[in-house]
């Protein structure tokens, strides 16, 4: 048997892209006890005064004719202070203000107000007039001390409000008390005797607790418990850790919450070629990202080098995320990496991901275990370590008419695999489908009887990664493909 030479490559750091252009720089102002100027008395000014009071500001409101809404906000102030001056604002009123907010009907008034504020060195906002604004307020999700601001630079306030509504539904109100507890406990953690890595581990444990029990009100018993856990991990924390994370088949929205938390707490991310850039966008920006991927019959990092690098980084106290396409436990060589970590005494855990097969089946709308068509599902690899068709495949199992077979890494050996399976009894008319870049925006698929699939895949030159699935459950896909090669809004199909 001739071995196919494989070009090796070394793990290489991949620089994160620079921050894209920002219409506005998001900042959070500390206004407690500071003087803020608000000019004008319409209802629109009332909401801004309410926000400023909620931040603890001392608000001077200048309005000759304040609206009932504004009067009610001033009267009901529970934080900060509000003083109503029943007159129009003057240039001298801007002096000493932290910020200035104006509510005016016409541009002439807005121009004069903005100019006066800037002359006094004060940043200005004119309500609903973006061209006069040095800053804007945006939509707010309030879980104070956790506060989220959303801005569209004044282009689409309704859109910002829609996003705020979604975040309100997603973020438990109980997070506020967890963040408040973190503020109370910060000094205690600093003097706890924990090392830097131990303290960071404490905050990770607190975050995990908050996610699991968002409605629990944390108390001193929780502080003691979390400190004890962080201390108990001791040397394990100092050695660092490794987390194998499944990135899913490509669509970043298929990441699990646990995968996102791992990416956002990582020091270093070792990722494969199959991981999409959209998934990497979820990583902590400060995390170092290193490509350690393998490509079919192309440049590949040696598995032994990946194992050694992973262990070395963890021994240096780093939190390492090994990010793999699909699920790390399905043809991801996870076993070898787990064994290497355990032999080195490195803490290792696995965060499963959506498999490529699950993602492809979901987009095709096919149940892999559809009743009357499939009693089981089997995953097989299309090539062995030498790049050739594996010699130890169970051909009788592949020929079973009541099984759904998913073939990973199939392209180079697909013709030989199908030919041999047919020789062992696989019906040449069995429906089959090849899916390229499953779940991604450019997903494409080819459906055909299994005996014809290899030739059609070769002609189509589908970009990787490609997955082949065989079984009666795909008969509906073949029928749809025959009647409608490319439906509007559907994945690209090649017949």
Rg (the chain; Cα; Å)? 30
Q: How far is 420 from 395, CA to CA, in rounded Å?
A: 8
Catalytic residues: 272, 294
Contact indicator for 16, 289 with CB cutoff of 8 Å: yes
Contact indicator for 143, 122 with CB cutoff of 8 Å: no
Q: How far is 395 from 423, CA to CA, in rounded Å?
A: 9
Burial of 205 (0-12, 13-18, 19+ CB in 10 A): middle
Contact indicator for 183, 145 with CB cutoff of 8 Å: yes
* Peptide bond preceding 145 in cis form (omega within 30 of 0): yes
The β-bridge relationship of strands 444-449 and 431-436 is antiparallel
Q: How far is 38 from 84, CA to CA, in rounded Å?
A: 10
């Amino acid at each position: 048997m001739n071995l196919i030479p494989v070009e090796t490559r070394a793990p290489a750091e991949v620089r994160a892209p620079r921050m894209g252009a920002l219409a506005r720089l998001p900042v959070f102002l500390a206004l407690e006890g500071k003087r803020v100027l608000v000019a004008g008395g319409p209802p629109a000014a009332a909401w801004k005064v309410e926000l400023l009071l909620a931040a603890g500001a001392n608000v001077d409101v200048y309005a000759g004719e304040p609206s009932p809404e504004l009067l009610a906000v001033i009267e009901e102030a529970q934080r900060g202070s509000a003083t109503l001056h029943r007159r129009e604002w003057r240039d001298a009123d801007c002096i000493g203000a932290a910020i200035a907010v104006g509510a005016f009907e016409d541009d002439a008034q807005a121009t004069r107000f903005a100019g006066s504020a800037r002359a006094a060195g004060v940043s200005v906002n004119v309500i609903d007039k973006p061209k006069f604004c040095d800053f804007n307020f945006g939509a707010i999700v309030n879980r104070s001390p956790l506060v989220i601001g959303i801005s569209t630079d004044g282009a689409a306030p309704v859109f910002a409000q829609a996003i705020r509504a979604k975040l309100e539904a997603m973020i438990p109100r109980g997070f506020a008390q967890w963040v408040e507890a973190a503020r109370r406990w910060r000094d205690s953690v600093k003097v706890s005797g924990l090392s830097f890595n131990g303290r960071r581990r404490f905050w990770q444990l607190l975050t995990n607790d908050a996610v699991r029990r968002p409605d629990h009100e944390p108390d001193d018993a929780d502080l003691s418990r979390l400190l004890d856990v962080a201390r108990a991990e001791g040397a394990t924390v100092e050695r660092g850790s490794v987390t194998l994370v499944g990135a899913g088949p490509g669509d970043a929205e298929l990441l699990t919450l646990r995968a996102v938390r791992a990416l956002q707490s990582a020091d270093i991310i070792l990722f494969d070629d199959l991981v999409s850039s959209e998934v990497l966008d979820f990583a902590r920006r400060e995390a170092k990202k290193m490509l350690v991927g393998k490509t079919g019959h192309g440049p590949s990092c040696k598995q032994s080098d990946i194992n050694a690098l992973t262990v070395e980084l963890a021994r240096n106290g780093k939190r390492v995320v090994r990010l793999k396409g699909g699920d790390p436990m399905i043809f991801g060589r996870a076993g070898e990496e787990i064994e290497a970590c355990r032999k080195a005494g490195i803490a290792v855990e696995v965060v499963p991901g959506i498999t490529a097969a699950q993602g492809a089946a979901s987009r095709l709308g096919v149940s892999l275990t559809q009743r009357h068509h499939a009693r089981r599902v089997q995953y097989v690899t299309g090539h062995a370590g030498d790049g050739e068709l594996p010699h130890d495949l169970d051909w009788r199992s592949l020929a079973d008419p009541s099984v759904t077979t998913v073939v990973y890494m199939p392209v180079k050996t697909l013709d030989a695999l199908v030919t041999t399976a047919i020789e062992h009894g696989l019906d040449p008319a069995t429906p089959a489908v090849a899916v390229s870049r499953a779940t991604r925006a450019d997903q494409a698929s080819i459906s055909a009887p299994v005996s014809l699939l290899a030739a059609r895949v070769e002609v189509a030159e589908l970009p990787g990664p490609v997955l082949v699935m065989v079984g009666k459950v795909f008969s509906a896909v073949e029928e749809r493909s025959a009647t409608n090669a490319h439906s509007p809004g559907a994945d690209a199909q090649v017949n």
